[in-house]
Chain A
Amino acid sequence: MNRALATVPLTVLVFIAVLVLVAVAVRNGVIGDDALRLWAGASTAADGQFPIGRIVAAYPTLPFLSTTLIAWFTPGDAPAPALVTAGLLALIAGFCFHSFRKAGFSDIRAGAASLLVAFHPALLRAIVAGPADMFLAAFLLVFCLALYDLRARSGTSEVMGVGLALMALAFSHPMGAAFAFASVLFLAFAVRPFLVANSALNVVVALIFPTLFAISAFSYVSWVFPGDGWTFFAAPTQSLSRWAASESHLLGDGALLSLDTSLVMAVALALSAPIAVVMLVIVHRRRPLIMPAAVFIASAIAAALISVVSGFFGDPSAIIVAAPILAAVVVMRVPLACEHRVLATALLMLGWFGGLAGVIMVDPLTVNRLRTAVERQSGERVDALAAGGAAARDDGVLADVVNAPAFLLGRGGARGIFGPASEPFALAMLFDRIDTPFIAVPDPHSNTGAQDRLNRAFPSLFSAGLHGYRVIYQNNTWRLFARIADISSSKD
């Protein structure tokens, strides 16, 4: 069978499996906060409720733009972020399958190895974490391959490959940006020695120029079109502190947290990608095979450290996705792995189990959410999803969906929602008067409700309702009100 065609069944299988997994994760409230925000933002943008400037100045740019575009192109309430995530992982799996076969693996072994990579716990974590994490995985793959190419040839297209991959990483995920910054320290080691000997600094300049220029350009666009832009880099301190609070600290808090993070990340990477450790130890004398992987690993660990030290890039757990990516690239590029296919497959399997431990170590928040879901405990997010589901057919729902993106997700889309960017919402805030057919509001005593703009403007809305409205749905956290006139007219 044609090599390209042979990848189709596996790619389709992975695509469908990811869609199912995302559906299950959504239903059980396992989806990460960032994914929810992205989902809600993209859905709102696709519905035309965002000015164009805010769309182009949104961050993380690539996941946001691609999700918005998919949401715009797909009919009805298609789950755009799930489609993006599934599409990216399917591509990664298809590429792995193709490359493994090219490296001499049989179809069955290549398929098994690809599935072990694609459904590695770190990538499963990325699935529930949303498109940004999957973009991070995809561009880490591109970057790692480009590093091997750079070391092999160091020609124009190889330098370009690394430079553009770094730029894409920086605009895929905050941790991708951290990774790009961190890698600057090590890039000189990835280039062929004769070029470095010539002028190491200038080579590094050529490698990081696209990233630096794109960041400057993005800043400028954010200034021309005021949008969310860099606000993303202010928000991550929250997620970092949540992550720091939930992580078990081996060495202590404060400054030692960064060292602790590096250590944890290094151990997690080693556990999650034992094939990289084993193969690289065996070929340790062959610098062209060692250096790219070493630069990649060092950048990942340094990115986690930078994230904690600076507080700009959010929680560093996303970088664990580097482990299965590195494992896959080692199988593709280290000849020893291609020659010992049984060993390679066994090590990938070992890496799968190691990955479970790794994810538990670096991402306790997701693990907690999973536990909650498994134990079928109710939570604010599940309530928001249910409330959104209840309002799915209602048109003209006033709700602070920026604060509660899960409501929007449960509803399936932004069409018919009057969110904070809409005129009715702004009028309600200005004149303390609501005139929309429906109102959705969370309990002000809940975490979500405390931040809700409607609750702040109308403190008694949740408990006492509003004249002319009555409750048509409620759960532990949310109440949905409908204008009585509308109910009557619908009955007529």
Chain B
Amino acid sequence: MPLSPSDRALGDLLVGRRIITLPQLDEAIELSEKWNVRLGDALLSRNWIEPRRYFETYAQNFDLPFVDLIRDPPDRALLRAEEADIYANRLTMPWRRNEGRLLIATAEPGPETVLYARRRWGADIEFVVASKFDIVFAVQTAFAEALSRRAVFELAELDPKMSARTVFTIPQMIVAYALLSIVLAGLALAPIKTLIALNIAISIFYLGNFVFKGILVSIGGGRSADIDETIAVEARALRTEDLPVFTVLVPMFREAAMLPQLAQALRRLDYPLGKLDIKIVLEASDRETIEAARSLGLEGVFEIIIVPPSQPQTKPKACNFALRFARGEYLVVYDAEDRPDPDQLRKVVATFRRSPPNTACLQCRLNYYNASENWLTRMFTLDYALWFDQVLPGLERLGMPIPLGGTSNHFRIDVLRELHAWDPFNVTEDADLGIRIGQKGYRVGVVDSTTFEEASCRTGQWLRQRSRWIKGYMQTLLVHTRRPLQLLRNTGPLGFLGFVFFIGGTVLAGLLNPLFWLFYAFWLVASAVNIDVIFPQILLLLCLFNLLAGNGAFTYLIMLAPIRRGWLDLIPFSFTLFGYWVLISLAAYKALWQLLRNPFFWEKTQHGMSRHAAAQFAETGGGP
């Protein structure tokens, strides 16, 4: 699209004042026409001009005064909390009154803003220009408490049944109490029969669990490569000017060292920087990262969102807070250490365009760049390869609800807002949101594009991370089984089954495995003397089948997982799966303990611990 006359005049003004050079202007014009963005967005994305300088000149171009909203903040009496979203999205807000006229501060002066402002605040208004960063900062400052409260309680207040704020509901406690009473009564009156009944129930669960996962992998592995190739071609063919604005949220906490690498990874995205709305979301208490972010001198497309202190201090709360300032059509969440495939956003746009209209989210594949660091990272990589490369495509093909992975989930922002976004009380908010999307009649798709992350390479750190995940799965299980019939109705029998085995199976398997290992060890050592009574022959057969076929099947599934990526050197490590299961069980018990004692506590995963990260820090001068 050709440059607007006002942008041409602005360009001339900037060159005339020697703020930018003529070649820079030419390139910026070319970019803005190619990307279909304003000249300012192109200039800021190239970091050729300081934002404040740009907006000052912008004001002069329109012959309007420039105001510094940090030094001269807006009059709080003129602002309304419920309009905070609008101020942030339109970058336009009431500033002050002057001689009876309302002064409107805007970062986007122009006919559209004038029309909007007159409609909203009447004709008796005047405009001043402010930097977009100042407007965002002013909104954050003015409504810190209200926005923070909304970030924490919106879901809990508007859709309480879907919130993990209440860990156990009263009906759930009654059901649990009744079940426990029945079991105890059974143990008192007919102990052998009760134990056999429990044994049968658990054995059937185990059987269903591994059969279900086997089917998923088989179906997921058969996902047509043609579709992925078609998407890749369509992504490349997308016209740059047609690409929508994409919001990128990067919540960080005490990860100052990761910032340079993160910025580099985002710059590498094959997406016009001028159409990226990047928000680095930082906790107010994290002064170190805030200072580091400010001192880096990032391009104008990077915005810093400061989340005011409040409890629970979780990633979903930070994302909810930042969501209010998002201006994109789509939104993605990345972690600080993420390295997305450069064409990921394009593939997402192409996939959204060919997906059914009820597609609310697209999950990209996740994997690790430090797989070969040690045994734990290898096993973690195998685990992720199975999950994201095989199981999730299987869930998608069967139309089951998909528990989203930690990052690289791309949302339609309107649906995300409609669903009240993430649950800040759930410590695996993404998994919960994925199920909620399914419950609300939307679907999640899978995109063949990978984001590489850093695998936890230390056992303690891994246990903290995994225990949080399992605790979050427990919360998700509790939330979505509050109304089991509604879950069945909303997701269908297959979806219901998928939820039970996928979320429930992961939790229960971790908790039950050690018990059965002990049983088995005792059975071997005691030569079945005392334990045979609760294993009648047919049940013994089922248990043996589960033991053998289950172990064999899971080992095989893990073994097959890296084949898609050609990481065949990981195959022998699948034979050590048992050791990994032991760790998972430890994490599961820790998660259970935490669920009872401190359900909303967020075990922060420390990034930048790998050899790979250390090498990068050495290059960029950072370090954890």
B-binding residues in A (CB < 8 A): 51-53, 56, 153-157, 159-160, 163, 194-195, 198-199, 202-203, 205-206, 209-210, 213-214, 217, 220-221, 224-225
Contacts and interface: CB of A to CB of B under 8 A. Distances in A.
Contacts of B217: 156, 160
B548 A206 contact: no
B560 interface: yes
Given A198-B566, A202-B572, A205-B571, A160 B218 contact: yes
Contact of B556 (A154, A203, A209): A209
A160 B560 contact: yes
Contacts of A51: 537
Interface in B419-449: none
B549 interface: yes
Contacts of A53: 537, 541
B70 interface: no
Nearest to A153: B225
A221 B544 CA distance: 8
A213 B559 CA distance: 13
A56 B569 contact: no
Contacts of B218: 157, 160
Contact of A206 (B537, B563, B566): B563
A242 to B, nearest CB: 35
Given A52-B538, A159-B560, A210-B556, 18 more contacts: A153-B225, A154-B563, A155-B225, A155-B564, A156-B217, A156-B560, A156-B561, A157-B222, A194-B566, A195-B566, A202-B568, A202-B572, A205-B571, A206-B560, A206-B568, A210-B552, A217-B552, A220-B548
A48 to B, nearest CB: 13
Identify which of A51, A157, A199 gathers the most chain B CB atoms within 10 Å of its CB.
Answer: A157
Contact of B568 (A56, A203, A209): A203
Contacts of A160: 217-218, 221, 556, 560
The 6 closest A-B pairs by CB, nearest first: A156-B221, A157-B221, A217-B548, A199-B568, A202-B571, A213-B552
Contacts of A195: 563, 566, 568
A220 B524 CA distance: 13
B390 interface: yes
A138 B230 CA distance: 35
Contacts of B566: 194-195, 198
B548 A221 contact: yes
B221 A205 contact: no
Contacts of B563: 154-156, 159, 195, 203, 206
B513 interface: no
Contacts of A214: 552
B571 A52 contact: no
A160 B559 CA distance: 10
A209 B559 contact: yes
27 contacts: A52-B537, A153-B225, A155-B563, A156-B221, A156-B561, A156-B564, A157-B221, A157-B222, A159-B560, A159-B563, A160-B217, A160-B221, A160-B556, A163-B556, A195-B566, A195-B568, A199-B569, A202-B569, A202-B571, A205-B559, A206-B559, A206-B560, A209-B556, A220-B548, A221-B544, A224-B540, A225-B541
A22 B594 CA distance: 66
Interface in B291-315: none
Contacts of B559: 205-206, 209
Contacts of B568: 195, 198-199, 202-203, 206
Contacts of A153: 225
B555 A213 contact: yes
Contacts of A198: 566, 568-569
A194 B563 CA distance: 12
Interface in B381-429: 389-390
A53 B544 CA distance: 11
A179 B322 CA distance: 62
Contacts of B556: 160, 163, 209-210, 213
Interface string B221-256: 110010000000000000000000000000000000
A213 B556 CA distance: 9
Interface string B530-558: 00000001101100100011001001100
Contacts of B544: 220-221, 224
A80 B212 CA distance: 31
Contacts of A225: 541
A157 B540 CA distance: 32
Interface string B559-593: 11101101011011000000000000000000000
Contacts of B552: 210, 213-214, 217
A476 to B, nearest CB: 43
Nearest to B222: A157
Interface string B320-339: 00000000000000000000
A198 B570 CA distance: 11
Interface in B194-237: 217-218, 221-222, 225
Contacts of A199: 568-569, 571
Identify which of A53, A155, A156, A210 gathers the most chain B CB atoms within 10 Å of its CB.
Answer: A156
A194 B566 CA distance: 9
Given A195-B566, A221-B548, A205 B225 contact: no
Contacts of B390: 156
A486 B571 CA distance: 68
A209 B217 CA distance: 17
Contacts of A206: 559-560, 563, 568, 571
A301 to B, nearest CB: 29
B572 A205 contact: yes
Contacts of A154: 563
Nearest to A199: B568
Contact of A217 (B538, B540, B549, B572): B549
A364 to B, nearest CB: 40
A224 B532 CA distance: 13
B159 to A, nearest CB: 38
A198 B555 CA distance: 21
Contacts of B540: 224
A202 B221 CA distance: 19
Identify which of A160, A195, A217 gathers the most chain B CB atoms within 10 Å of its CB.
Answer: A160
Nearest to A163: B556
A92 B566 CA distance: 34
A209 B558 CA distance: 12
A155 to B, nearest CB: 6
B428 to A, nearest CB: 26
A224 B537 CA distance: 11
Contacts of A157: 218, 221-222
Given A53-B537, A56-B541, A221-B548, A155 B571 contact: no
Nearest to A56: B541
A155 B560 CA distance: 9
Contacts of B549: 217
A52 B544 CA distance: 13
Contacts of A194: 566
Contacts of A210: 552, 556
Nearest to A194: B566
A51 B541 CA distance: 12
Interface string B249-267: 0000000000000000000
